[in-house]
Amino acid sequence: MKSPIYTLLWVILIIVSHFQVEANTMKRCNQTFKGDCQNNGNQLCKDSYWNVLKKRAYNCTCERFDGKQRVCKCNLREC
């Protein structure tokens, strides 16, 4: 009786481990865009990644790069 239960537990453990690996596939990417960060820089970065590169960005931070550009640092599935 214990053997089927242990087998089932191992299968569940393997499945859960697989989903945890899949969930952590985000990469931190840096991209420069025209303009400055303004007051809503983080949202501006998310919008810029989508509008220019057609990529969904998460957890963005906007940093001033020079007078005419900003650096958007965001999590993406691939850079």
Output the six-digit token pair for 67: 């007078």
The 10s digit of each residue's pLDDT in 3-37 is 777 676 666 656 666 555 555 689 999 999 999 99
Q: Which residues is 7 bridged to in the sheet?
A: none
The 10s digit of each residue's pLDDT in 10-19 is 666 566 665 5
- Separation CA 32–CA 75 (nearest Å): 14
SS3 10: helix
Residue 72 binned pLDDT confidence (cut-offs 50, 70, 90): very high
